[in-house]
């Protein structure tokens, strides 16, 4: 005999998702109805379900009135796809949950007792560590997050790694996340309370609130050429453990390129117990080509240098966590205008993206032959031209991609790339040159 399951939904996508999750169970008769009074009463009266799966309300949605359900359904399960929380109303136990847990809850006669024993890694689960990575496109931020997760899998742990970015190009700031745990991870949201923050590009210190969301006593590891004490002064926090390693210099020496990701992953293996060195080394050799290849060995060497040279200082016990400045709150969906109307606002035709740079081109005008190759190939229209002659670089919008230096036919190039950091001429000054 088939067991009847009724899905009560606020959003049709929820009903479709749960129906697919339960479709593998051959002897379930699954129905769905919207969570409105008329449809609810009709569905309960007609179907007389043994199990009701109720869509959990969102943060701005009212809690449902369960009085009509309790008397007419033997088992009520509340499930949220977004927050991975499952509640069985037979016993008020709440556990982080996933698809397998939902199927089990539908089947069990006493689901709350079984769910309490499920080894699920959700928010607050002991043993789960969450990391946040900050860097720029092209520095290997996402690769670093995945390499650490891959090493954890080799150690027999559970892991996930994922980025958060849109259409950004090389040089644009981006964020990636890693979660490691000793049990299956059912949490799929961005990391809000990190145990570790890793910074790949020190130029982001002035633009990204790095310590926001970092737990008291948590670790901040940065690509930083000076001492961790100097980094602490810049960050203005004594409540966190601070570590520094000159990852750019090490990468340049071992890889021939200023890509600091493997150096920082190696430093993490030294500073934490997140992964073992043997697992990380095996992951690096596989990720960067066949074991023994020059590329793989160079990356292992870079990680080993990071492991050996990183320096760290402890957090001051009892130090106050810096309070971030208040952020403007976004309106909820209930307060937005109907019909998706967007109020007129100022839109910049060319937003200033010069802060994305890690390197900048410097025009050596005495060597320039004014062939305009750099102007033709620049993807950001940042090469300034007057009367058919190159007159400067628009540093407000140059992202430091280096294409101009590569395309310049003058050898050595008339527009070499140098490290970012020194004051540069503004657009108006370049135009008047």
* Structure confidence by residue, pLDDT tens digits, 164-205: 876 666 778 899 999 999 888 878 888 988 999 999 999 899
295/101: higher pLDDT: 295
Write down the pTM of the prediction.
0.61
Do 60 and 143 have their domain in common? no
Number of domains in the chain: 3
14, part of any domain: yes
Do 134 and 95 have their domain in common? no
343, part of any domain: no
Instruction: Give residue 335's pLDDT.
Output: 65
Do 372 and 235 have their domain in common? no
Do 255 and 134 have their domain in common? yes
pLDDT of 273 > 80? The answer is: yes
134, part of any domain: yes
pLDDT of 334 > 70? The answer is: no
Do 169 and 281 have their domain in common? yes
Do 148 and 247 have their domain in common? yes
82, part of any domain: yes
Lowest mean pLDDT among 12-21, 28-37, 230-239, 321-330: 321-330
What is the CATH classification number for the domain harbouring 20? 3.40.50.2300
Instruction: Give residue 343's pLDDT.
Output: 61
Average pLDDT along the chain? 80
Percentage of the chain modeled with pLDDT above 70? 73
81/303: higher pLDDT: 303
- Stretch 155-161: mean pLDDT: 92
Do 140 and 198 have their domain in common? yes
What is the CATH classification number for the domain harbouring 191? 3.40.920.10
Do 154 and 290 have their domain in common? yes
Domain of 238, in residue numbers? 129-313
pLDDT of 426 > 70? The answer is: no
Mapping DSSP onto H, E and C, the string for the chain reads: CCEEEEEEECCHHHHHHHHHHHCCCCCEEEEEEECCHHHHHHHHHHHCCCEEEEECCCCCCCCCCCHHHHCCCCEEEEEECCCCEEEECCCCCEEECCHHHHHHHHHCCCHHHHHCCCCCECCCCCCCEEEEEEEECCCCHHHHHHHHHHHHHHCCCEEEEEEECCCCCCCCEEEEEEEEECCCECCCCCCCCEEEEEECCHHHCCCCCCCCCEEEEEEEEEECCCCHHHHHHHHCCCCCEEEEECHHHHHHHHHCCCCCHHHHHHHHHHHCCCCCHHHHHHHHHHHCCCCCCHHHHHHHHHHHHHHHHCEEECCCCCCCCCCCCCCCCCCCHHHCCHHHCCCCCCCCCCCCCHHHCCEEECCCCCCCCCCCHHHHHCCCCCEEEECCEEEEECCCCCCCCCHHHHHCCCCCCCCCEEEECECCCCHHHHHCC
64/213: higher pLDDT: 213
């Amino acid at each position: 005999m088939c067991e009847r399951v009724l899905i009560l939904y606020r959003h049709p996508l929820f009903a479709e998702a749960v129906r697919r999750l339960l479709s593998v169970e051959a002897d379930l008769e699954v129905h769905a109805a919207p969570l409105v009074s008329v449809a609810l009463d009709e569905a309960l009266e007609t179907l007389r379900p043994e199990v009701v799966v109720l869509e959990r309300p969102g943060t701005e949605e009212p809690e449902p009135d369960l009085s009509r359900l309790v008397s007419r359904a033997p088992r009520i399960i509340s499930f949220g796809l977004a927050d991975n929380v499952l509640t069985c109303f037979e016993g008020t136990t709440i556990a982080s949950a996933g698809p397998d847990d939902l199927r089990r809850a539908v089947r069990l006669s006493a689901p709350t007792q079984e769910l309490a024993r499920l080894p699920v890694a959700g928010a607050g689960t002991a043993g789960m560590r969450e990391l946040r990575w900050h860097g720029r496109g092209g520095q290997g931020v996402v690769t670093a997050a995945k390499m650490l997760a891959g090493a954890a899998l080799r150690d027999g742990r559970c892991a996930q790694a994922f980025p958060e970015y849109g259409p950004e190009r090389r040089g644009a700031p981006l964020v990636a996340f890693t979660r490691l745990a000793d049990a299956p991870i059912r949490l799929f949201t961005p990391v809000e309370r990190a145990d570790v923050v890793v910074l790949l590009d020190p130029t982001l210190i002035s633009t990204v609130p790095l310590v926001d969301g970092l737990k008291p006593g948590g670790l901040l590891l940065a690509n930083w050429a000076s001492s961790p004490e100097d980094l602490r002064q810049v960050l203005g926090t004594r409540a966190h453990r601070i570590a520094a390693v000159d990852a750019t210099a090490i990468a340049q020496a071992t890889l021939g390129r200023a890509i600091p990701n493997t150096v920082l992953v190696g430093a993490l293996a030294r500073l934490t117990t997140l992964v073992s060195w043997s697992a990380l080394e095996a992951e690096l050799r596989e990720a960067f080509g066949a074991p023994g290849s020059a590329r793989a060995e160079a990356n292992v060497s870079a990680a080993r240098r990071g492991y050996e040279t990183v320096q760290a200082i402890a957090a001051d016990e009892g130090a106050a966590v810096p309070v971030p400045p208040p952020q403007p709150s976004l309106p909820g969906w209930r307060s937005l205008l109907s019909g998706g109307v967007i109020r007129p606002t100022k839109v910049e035709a060319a937003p200033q993206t010069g802060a994305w740079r890690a390197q900048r081109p410097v025009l050596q005008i005495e060597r320039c032959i004014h062939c305009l190759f750099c102007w033709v190939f620049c993807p950001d229209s940042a090469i300034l031209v007057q009367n058919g002659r190159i007159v400067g670089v628009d540093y407000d919008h140059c992202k430091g991609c280096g294409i101009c230096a590569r395309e310049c036919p003058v050898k050595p190039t008339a527009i070499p790339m140098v490290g970012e950091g020194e004051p540069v001429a503004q657009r108006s000054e370049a135009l008047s040159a």
